[in-house]
Structure 1
Amino acid sequence: MAGMVLGVGAGVFLLALIWVLVLLLCALLSRASGIARFSIVFVFLGALVITVVLLLFPRASEFPVPEVEMKIVDAFFIARYALLAFLGAIFLGGLFLILTQHVLEPIYAKPLRSC
């Protein structure tokens, strides 16, 4: 399954891109005056038609073609855990330094009011 990101294909990203652009265009056209302001309806309907076409006529098969079984090997297992340990040590060290600064922060006495 080539082209999959986060478990979804390129079509989902294409639909998201279309709607983000339509929302941006509608926001820009809402500031326009006159007849250009009413073109928001046509932009929205055009995006709706494109979305319906892309949803009703998918290019890929609904059922994936069975592939040869692949064995997944994690080649960076040790490096990943070494990096995780290093970042954890940095985080704990930074947390310790922040907490010591918080605990050791001086508390200044407020001046007494004289009567």
Structure 2
Amino acid sequence: MGDMVLGVGAGVFIIALIWIVTLALTTFLTRATGPTKLGIIPVFLIAIIITLVLVFFPRASEVPSAEREVQIVDTFFIGRYVLLSLVSVVFLATLFMLLPLHFLEPVYAKPLRTH
């Protein structure tokens, strides 16, 4: 069972794409005038035939093979979390050192203009 996305194979996405294109073409052809409007019938029949071929003649077997899947192991797991915690502590320390400078900035009174 090679290329699986969200638990389904590529055939499901191909069938969905075929029916999306069919829906778009039929929408365009319904707005046409004259004999062009009859183009909906072959488009719909071709979509049905391709769908039936993909459903009834699949390339892959239904039973998964006994191949062992590659297991990815993160060997730097602990080091990554130590680095994350160190960066978080440094960020919080700089934030709390910067806030007093921001809030305690002196505000000087403006001189009054006397005429």
- Tell me which interval the TM-score lies in, with the shorter structure as reference length: 0.5 to 0.7
Query: What is the match of residue 7 of structure 1?
Result: 7
- Unpaired runs of 5+ in structure 2? 89-115
TM (norm. structure 1) is: 0.61
After superposing on structure 2, the runs of 4+ consecutive aligned residues of structure 1 that deviate more than 6 Å are none
SS at match of 2:35: helix
TM (norm. structure 2) is: 0.61
Query: What is the match of residue 46 of structure 2?
Result: 46
Query: What is the match of residue 56 of structure 2?
Result: 56
Structure with the greater relative contact order (CA < 8 A, sep ≥ 6): 1 or 2?
Answer: 2
Structure 1 residues 48 and 73: CA distance shift in structure 2, 3 A: same
Query: What is the match of residue 67 of structure 1?
Result: 67
For the pair 1:35 / 2:57, whether they are aligned, the reply is: no
Structure 1 residues 69 and 9: CA distance shift in structure 2, 3 A: closer
Aligned pair count?
81
Give the superposition deviation at 1:70: 4.1
In structure 1, distance between residues paired with 2:13 and 2:52 = 15
Percent identity (aligned): 54
